[in-house]
Structure 1
Amino acid sequence: MPERVLLIGVYGMELVECGGALAANAAAGGQSFATLMLCRERMRADVSKAADVLGVEVDFLGFRNGYVAVDEEHKRALVRAIRTVRPTIIITQDPEHSLADLDPDRRPAMTLILEALGLASRDFAADDGLEPHAVPTIYYMTPSRPNCVVDIASHWEQKVAAMELLESQMEFSGRHWSEQLTPADLEALVPGFAALDSDLERGRAVHRALDKAVHIYHGIGHHGRYAFAEAYRREGDFHLPTLIR
């Protein structure tokens, strides 16, 4: 069923990490949106290209790295985004995962997101000229304890292509893994790794291997029905008219 899906992300790569579900919704006739808090200028161009591949409309809030706060200014920005899109489904980071994640800003961002979800349907910031919007269904991405998976096999190549467009992220990943893993481990992970001549290509190659393994694990590797799957945790109970397979 087509929906209005809004990803509220902290960083740019989250758009691609949820890219399978977002692309599947767009392909089904729905509308997929992403509102991103932190995304540096160079990364914005990459993310915009990736969003085009996935059929996602992206908006950058322009928050400052290291200065995300649960204050009126930040709450207003997120509430405005929710009221503008008026989604039926929201995807955002997992509260459990974000608590122990050492990426800066994730912990205040999670509290900010939950506050904004609560305020969007109330009379907070009524002077923004937008009607309140009731809290929709919420899914947490890359959760510590998933309770559902989404079939993304038909959109796997789109997701790979979108990830490879995040060139600044791929360059960072290439440098990081080259420092963290031994040459033997890197060669086992990506045969021919030593012959790759740039951080960009090294990052792309390891991401291809890593992302494929993760999505197969949540698909057929986890006694599932799908070749490739994205894992999510739905907030609250599932309300079903009848039992489903």
Structure 2
Amino acid sequence: MAERQKVLLLGVYGMEVVECGGALAKNVKNGGESYASIMLSSNKSREQVLQAANVLGVKMGFTDFEMGHVDTSAESKEKIVRVVREIKPDIIITQDPEHSFHDLDPDRRQAMITILEGIALAGRDFALDKMPELKPHSIPTIYYMTPHQPNTVVDVSDVWDLKNEAMSVLKSQMEFSGQHFENSLSESNLESLVPGFSKLSNHYEKGQAVHKALDQAVHVYHGLATHGHYAFAEAFRREGNFHLDELLK
């Protein structure tokens, strides 16, 4: 049986809760505790992120940064440090630093630096006067989600339906994606990807349909392609080396 552990996702916008939701949900299924803390979430999307987290069994929190104003100040780092010290996770999941620089969502780059600095400072004698009730907590293991160069895949086949259900709850994201895909792909490409796409009645349905096709392709690729062993898998890049008592098959 898998070891019970605390896993914390430090995310930026909220969709990350679902993107690595398989690993988070599987940890809960195995008796662990999964948490997520999001920096930026609008009033419109926050309730949907909470609903998605509830589907996955993830305990949610928000650090209430302001879009366009994320910085690497001591005050910003303190917000991350507080979350880490309060939850005391065994594992942290966050965005891959390399990926964050290619992602043109606002604040991704500053957020990534703030998150990594916060993780580093959480285990040191930083801001103890600001949070005297919390002791330093060091993180032994960090995994970067959706990396360009993964070195780890997690079998999420048994929680695949939960992950799809959680994604469908993110209505604002699905509507945005439906409009984006409709503008960026030709009609013939969309029909090839989602047969009957043109007959879908609104952007929510269109975004949901394309995400379902896209997510399935990505997760099958990581799970089954290149001699994989799983129907669906999430990809991660572990920070640093794996430290093993002996080689694992």
TM-score (norm 1): 0.99
Aligned amino acid, residue 30 of structure 2: A
The CA distance in 1 between the partners of 2:208 and 2:47, in whole Å, is 17
Which residue pairs with 2:102 in the alignment?
Answer: 100
Let me know the Cα RMSD of the aligned residues: 0.7
Instruction: Give the one of 162, 167, 185 matched to 1:158.
Output: 162
Shift of 1:242: 1.1
CA deviation string 1:166-219 (max 9, x = no partner): 000000000000000111110000001011000000000000000000000001
The alignment partner of 1:232 has SS state of strand
**2:49 equivalent in structure 1:** 47
Match of 1:6 in 2: 8
For residue 167 of structure 1, what is the aligned residue in structure 2?
171
SS of match in other structure, 2:225: helix
For 2:161 and 2:139, the matched residues in 1 are separated by 32
- Residue by residue over 1:54-109, the C-alpha shift from the partner in whole angstroms, topping out at 9 and shown as x without a partner, is 00001011101111100011111000000000000000000111122211111111
**TM-score normalised by the chain length of structure 2:** 0.97
- Give the whole-Å Cα distance in 2 for the aligned partners of 1:222 and 1:70: 40
Per-residue Cα deviation, 1:130-180 (whole angstroms, up to 9, x for no partner): 111012300000011100100000000000000000000000000000000
User: Aligned equivalents of 2:42 and 2:140: distance in 1?
Assistant: 29
Aligned residue for 1:61?
Answer: 63
1:16 alignment partner, one of 11, 15, 18: 18
**How far apart in 1 are the matches of 2:171 and 2:4?**
31
Q: In the aligned structure 2, how far is the partner of 1:153 from the partner of 1:222?
A: 17
Consecutive unaligned residues in structure 1, runs of 5 or more: none
* Separation in 1, partners of 2:40, 2:84: 17
Report the identity percentage: 57
Instruction: Say if 1:94 and 1:142, in contact at 8 Å, map to a contact too.
Output: yes
1:142 aligns with 2:155: no
1:177 aligns with 181
Give the secondary structure class of the aligned counterpart of 2:64: coil
Q: Offset at 1:222?
A: 2.7
Would you say the 8 A contact 1:38–1:65 is kept in 2? yes
Q: Deviations over 1:213-242 (max 9, x none)?
A: 000000102321111000000001101111
SS of equivalent to 1:222: coil
One-letter identity of the residue aligned with 1:23: A
Aligned partners of 2:34 and 2:140: how far apart in 1?
A: 14
What one-letter code is carried by the residue in structure 1 that aligns with 2:120? G
Query: Counterpart of 1:81 in structure 2: which amino acid?
Result: V
Q: Which of structure 1's runs of 4+ aligned residues deviate more than 6 A? A: none
Q: Give the number of equivalent residue pairs.
A: 245
Query: Which of 234, 237, 246 does residue 242 from structure 1 map onto?
Result: 246
Alignment of 1:52-91 (within 5 A): 52-91=54-93
CA separation in 2, counterparts of 1:185 and 1:27?
38
Please give the secondary structure, in 2, of the residue aligned with 1:126. coil
Structure 2: gaps of 5 or more residues? none
CA distance in 2, matches of 1:138, 1:169: 27
Q: Deviations over 1:16-43 (max 9, x none)?
A: 0010000000000000000000111111
Q: What amino acid is the match of 1:172?
A: F
The counterpart of 1:130, out of the listed 112, 130, 134, is 134
Q: Is the 8 A contact 1:87 1:136 kept in 2?
A: no
